[in-house]
């Protein structure tokens, strides 16, 4: 079984988030973390669910590129950081940040994705990084610290690195008060 986390974002990239990431880049480099930043196009879809147990789905004729993919043989969940809800002039109905990750144990690399979720459930990928699995926690913390400082948010860290099956992942997410397909 392969688990795919998808986005249905519709907003333009948040300029402040890009600026914060650019400010963090020298610090990340100084820590000796190799980062491969990929620019991905945003996809418009008509579903609010981003967790699917399939290899690839098509909704309304569009292929969806996954945010996070886990097959539970080589690639497993990492750490998720989820902020509290907030509002501002850009998102008057509310928003929160989610930093999701998966770890490929064969390659020793982690995929880390920063998304912004609106109250209506739409999600926009803001940043994607590939880092050493050993650097996952401190790299995610750099984004958490910057977003907390910039937007006055509080984050809850949820560590899923011990999870080995899709069923266990679903069970663990429920313990944290949400369903895996709400990621």
Residue 132, domain extent: 3-182
Contact partners, residue 174, CB within 8 Å, separation at least 6: none
Half-sphere exposure of 96 (CA within 13 A, CB side): 16
Average pLDDT over residues 160-173: 93
Residue 129: what pLDDT? Answer: 94
pTM, two decimals, is: 0.66
β-pair partners for 110: 103, 131
Residue 62: what pLDDT? Answer: 40
β-pair partners for 5: 51, 68
What confidence tens digit (pLDDT) does each residue in 105-159 have?
999 999 999 999 999 989 999 999 999 999 999 999 999 999 999 999 999 999 9
Q: Residue 109's closest CA among 136, 144, 79, 72?
A: 136
Pair 112, 99: CB distance under 8 Å: yes
Q: Find where tokens 């989610």 sit.
A: 98
- Residues 148 and 167: their CA atoms lie apart, in Å, by 32
Work out the pLDDT band at 31, boundaries 50, 70, 90.
very low
**DSSP H helices in the chain:** 15-30, 136-151, 166-175
What confidence tens digit (pLDDT) does each residue in 46-88 have?
222 233 222 222 233 343 567 888 999 999 999 999 999 999 9
Residue 140: what pLDDT? Answer: 97
Tokens of 148: 């907390």
How many structural domains compose the chain? 1
Angle between helix 136-151 and 15-30 (nearest 10): 140
Residue 2: what pLDDT? Answer: 53
């Amino acid at each position: 079984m392969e688990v795919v986390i998808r986005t249905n974002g519709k907003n333009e990239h948040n300029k402040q988030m890009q600026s914060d990431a650019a400010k963090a880049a020298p610090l990340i480099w100084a820590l000796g973390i190799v980062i491969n930043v990929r620019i991905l196009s945003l996809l418009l879809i008509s579903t609010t669910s981003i967790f699917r147990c399939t290899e690839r789905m098509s909704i309304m004729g569009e292929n969806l590129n996954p945010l996070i993919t886990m097959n539970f043989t080589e690639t497993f969940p990492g750490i998720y950081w989820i902020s509290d809800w907030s509002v501002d002039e850009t998102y008057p109905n509310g928003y929160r940040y989610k930093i999701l990750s998966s770890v490929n144990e064969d390659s020793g690399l982690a995929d880390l994705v920063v998304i912004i979720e609106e109250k209506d459930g739409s999600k926009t990928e803001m940043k994607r990084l590939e880092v050493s699995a050993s650097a996952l926690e401190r790299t995610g913390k750099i984004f958490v610290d910057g977003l907390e400082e910039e937007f006055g948010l509080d984050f809850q860290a949820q560590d899923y690195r011990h999870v080995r099956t899709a069923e266990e992942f679903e069970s663990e997410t429920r313990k944290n008060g949400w369903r895996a397909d709400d990621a």
